[in-house]
Amino acid sequence: MSILEMKVPSPGESITEVEIATWLVQDGDYVEKDQPIAEVDSDKATLELPAEQSGIITLKAEEGEVVQVGQVVCLIDMDAAKPAGSTAEAPKEEPKAEVKKEEPAPVKAEAPKVETYAAQTPSPAAKKILDEKGIAPSQVTGSGRDGRITKDDAVTASVPAMGSAPAGGNRGQSTTKLSVLRRKIAARLVSVKNETAMLTTFNEVDMSEIFRIRKQYKEEFAAKHGIGLGFMSFFTKAVTRALKLYPDVNASIDGDFKINYDFADISIAVSGPKGLMVPVLRNAENMTLRGVEANIKDLATKVRDGKISVDEMTGGTFTITNGGTFGSMLSTPIINPPQSAILGMHNIIQRPVAVDGQVVIRPMMYVAMSYDHRIIDGKESVGFLVAVKEAIDNPVEFLMDGDERKALEL
């Protein structure tokens, strides 16, 4: 018998453990080679685990279990024959259909009772904690296998408030364990607040010229390049230009040392099914507007399809996030460590502004830059954001060298 032991591969450098987020197959299923059999969460991304060979699979780890890189999580019997799935066997089963009265239906009917009982049964450790708190198992929703109450469920369970519940309305609640990725993000966000001297400076940009350029060239641009002309390419190029003018913004702290980067690897925040991801545009300073749009589209597609790799999200010297896509008017974005600054874009609102002594209506956007004051002074942060503003207000002069068609490669 040829049995393959499938071990957890290393998703990337410095990652030593992952969590089995979801099994995509069941114990005893026949799997094909390269078929996705599980989704695993690391502290950087959610990745699919493909079957290494075809055969009958035996699961050796449960959903929610944290396993080490290199640990065996399933076995595949490569000698097992693939189920035929033909209808030839169906006639053999038909005579048995006549013995309906002798089918053990009552036994099957009892199965839900067993599951319900298991769902209300705490583990020994959980029972002890619940007894100490004076909480009945029926008042706790289990997150373990088949709804079993785990120790974590018991620890987070709270004593019901005194007094009668109000008439009407749903009083239910549920407890869900955070994924490894979400727990890592939470820890990093807290560390940023605790370990950096983060400040935020604000400004506003006039989107009129970018609106005009997109309206004038978007159809020709899409026809020639096969991609849309969006806002992010203009902001990315505005950022790479500003980073050259203010190199201390393109830096990070390593102990007692400051590291300055001669390149601009721009992390672009993208919302995916597993949460916010930040794939990186490598050497964005050398990209054209078309190149930025093409790379962002490719990375965003990978994020939304769950195909993004850890390497494609590792690194980055500066981050751009666009809360405006969700309707945010103003925010203080949190730095993406070990970077030292982040630019936050927001929604675009038609607002009255004063231009040459006259009140006019313009499409305006608030922008925010959060920065680590340990290595970036107020002068540099404000100057950087002003440089971004002037490039967005006047992209033809500052981003296109006065030639719109050439810059758009038309």
Average pLDDT along the chain, 410 residues, taken 10 residues at a time: 85 75 89 89 77 91 86 90 57 45 48 47 78 81 77 76 58 76 75 86 96 94 93 96 96 91 93 79 95 93 82 89 90 91 95 94 96 93 96 96 92
- Select from 33, 37, 34, 42 the least CA-distant residue to 12: 42
Given this model, what pLDDT does residue 318 score? 96
CB 45 within 8 A of CB 277: yes
Which residue, among 142, 146, 179, 172, has the nearest Cα to 157 in the 3D structure? Answer: 142
Tokens 């913004």 sit at which residue? 249
Query: What three-state secondary structure class fits 1?
Result: coil
Active site residue 377: yes
Give the pLDDT of residue 252.
Answer: 92
Is 256 a residue of the active site?
no
**How close are the terminal C-alpha atoms of the chain, in Å?**
63
Contact 324, 261 (CB under 8 A): no
Q: Are 319 and 269 in contact (CB under 8 A)?
A: yes
pTM of the model: 0.65
> What count of other Cβ atoms lies within 10 Å of the Cβ of residue 47?
23
Query: Among residues 27, 34, 373, 401, which one is catalytic?
Result: 373
pLDDT at 144: 76
Contacts of 344 (CB under 8 A, 6+ apart): 321, 322, 323, 331, 332, 333, 367, 368, 369, 370
Q: Choose the catalytic residue: 377, 393, 401, 403.
A: 377
pLDDT of residue 80: 84
Residue 110 phi/psi, 5-degree rounding, is -80, -15
pLDDT of residue 115: 40
Backbone angles phi and psi of 346, in degrees to 5: -140, -175
Cβ-contact 298, 307 below 8 angstroms = no
Report the C-alpha gap between 185 and 181 in whole angstroms.
Answer: 6
pLDDT at 163: 52
